[in-house]
Amino acid sequence: MSTNSKKCFLCKNTDLQKKYYYQDNIKNKNIESNNYFNSNNKIYTCEICKFSFCDDVSIDDLDKFYQIASEKKEDTVTNKFKEFNSRFFSQVLYFINHCSLKPNLKVLEIGPNHQGILPSLKIFQNKIIYYYFDQVKLKHKFDDIIKLGNFWTPKKDRLPKVDLIWMSHSLEHIHPKQLCDVLESFYDCLNTKGKIFVEIPYDIKNNDFIAPHTLFFETEGLINLFKKFNFKIVSISEINKEQIIDDEIKLRIQNKNKSKLSVNIISKVYQKIQKFLPEKIVKKFAFRNFVLNGPYTNLPIIRMIVEK
Ligand SMILES: [Zn+2]
């Protein structure tokens, strides 16, 4: 089906398709935030730019959605050796395979939540000046952590000059109307040869369309987007390439994830008793059970590094 009223905000093409639909987010049901953003919103696809977006929700409503969602967030227990958390640790390994981490590196992270990338980066480079935006306040006991604000409004809030911007599962949350401003602001605030690390879930391959994701990229679309804003692609990888074409495959992969249930139970017990155990035991146990050189999911994701 074609829709006339909308324009692709990257190429201005008006021939947009409606081929994807939001699924009901069971986890978010009965939450007040769903008044602002829910599965009734539409997803539009630009076949030229190879990406899909939802801009039916206003920027204000999207902000309200996150405000309410963050009020429900509770404090999480922090693990000893949290820096080896599979998602963050494998992202840093990926990064240092392609780029170096020089001393006094200035890093900006968008949405680190309770942990973020800093503890894992610190394994390889201790001298880091770290800036972030999030509603959550980080509790790491490191020097040079600077919270810039709860929300970041591109073009309105000035960014410090940095060498590296980290976006782990945050690009897909940007409001489409702000995407161009975000990429222009990133380009401006990066020092020469500055890098951006991006990881997003491959929702299109995963057949997973859930609010509050507002942007859905194909690999090609992601490359085109950053090239359009004058970035050079350093590397791009698809992880877990298998496309989820039907419910049967999805179920199989979900069951694969479920087989890790026993690990989840062990993990809960471990979190309770870890502080009473000697480091040597905790280290061995944590490494054997929780540290993987890969993200803790079997679902498709995309990783990318770009350079100014
Ligand atoms: Zn387009």
Q: Which of 260, 244, 251 is nearest to 297 (CA)?
A: 260
pLDDT band at 184 (very low <50, low <70, confident <90, very high): very high
Q: Is the pLDDT of residue 91 over 90?
A: yes
Give Rg (Cα) of the chain: 20
Q: Which of 82, 36, 116, 25 is nearest to 290 (CA)?
A: 82
* CA 8 to ligand 1 center in whole angstroms: 5
**Environment of ion ligand 1 (residues, CB < 5 A):** 8, 10-11, 13, 46, 48-49
Q: What is the pLDDT of residues 293-303, one digit of tens each?
A: 556 677 889 99
Q: What's the burial of 51, exposed, middle or buried (CB within 10 Å: 0-12/13-18/19+)?
A: buried
Residue 40: its pLDDT value, please?
85
Rounded-to-integer distance, Cα 306 and Cα 284, Å: 35
The CB density around residue 19, as the number of other CB atoms within 10 Å, is 12
Provide the percentage of residues in the chain whose pLDDT is more than 70. Answer: 82
> Which of 32-46, 54-68, 194-208, 257-271 ranks highest by mean pLDDT?
194-208
Residue 172: its pLDDT value, please?
95
Rounded-to-integer distance, Cα 20 and Cα 101, Å: 39
Range 109-122 average pLDDT: 92
* CA 83 to ligand 1 center in whole angstroms: 39
Q: Is the pLDDT of residue 275 over 80?
A: no
* CA 77 to ligand 1 center in whole angstroms: 43
* CA 51 to ligand 1 center in whole angstroms: 7
- CATH number for position 176: 3.40.50.150
pLDDT band at 50 (very low <50, low <70, confident <90, very high): very high
Residue 124: its pLDDT value, please?
94
Long-range contacts: 138-145, Cβ < 8 Å, 24+?
A: 138/112, 138/114, 139/78, 139/114, 142/118, 145/118
Q: What is the pLDDT of residues 134-179, one digit of tens each?
A: 888 998 989 999 999 988 889 888 899 999 999 999 999 999 999 9
* CA 7 to ligand 1 center in whole angstroms: 8
* CA 242 to ligand 1 center in whole angstroms: 26
| Cβ–Cβ under 8 Å, residues 109 and 73 | no
Residue 52: its pLDDT value, please?
95
Residue 299: its pLDDT value, please?
80
pLDDT band at 257 (very low <50, low <70, confident <90, very high): low
- The average confidence (pLDDT) of the chain is 85
- Count up the domains in the chain and report the number: 1
Q: What is the pLDDT of residues 190-203, one digit of tens each?
A: 999 999 999 999 99
Question: What is the domain extent for residue 56?
Answer: 1-308
Q: What is the pLDDT of residues 211-226, one digit of tens each?
A: 889 999 999 999 999 9
Q: Please tell me the pTM assigned to this model.
A: 0.86
Residue 295: its pLDDT value, please?
61
Q: Is the peptide bond before 212 cis (omega within 30 degrees of 0)?
A: yes
Q: Is the pLDDT of residue 72 over 80?
A: no
Q: What's the burial of 169, exposed, middle or buried (CB within 10 Å: 0-12/13-18/19+)?
A: middle
Q: Is the pLDDT of residue 56 over 60?
A: yes
pLDDT band at 245 (very low <50, low <70, confident <90, very high): low
Q: What is the pLDDT of residues 33-44, one digit of tens each?
A: 777 888 888 999
Range 104-114 average pLDDT: 93
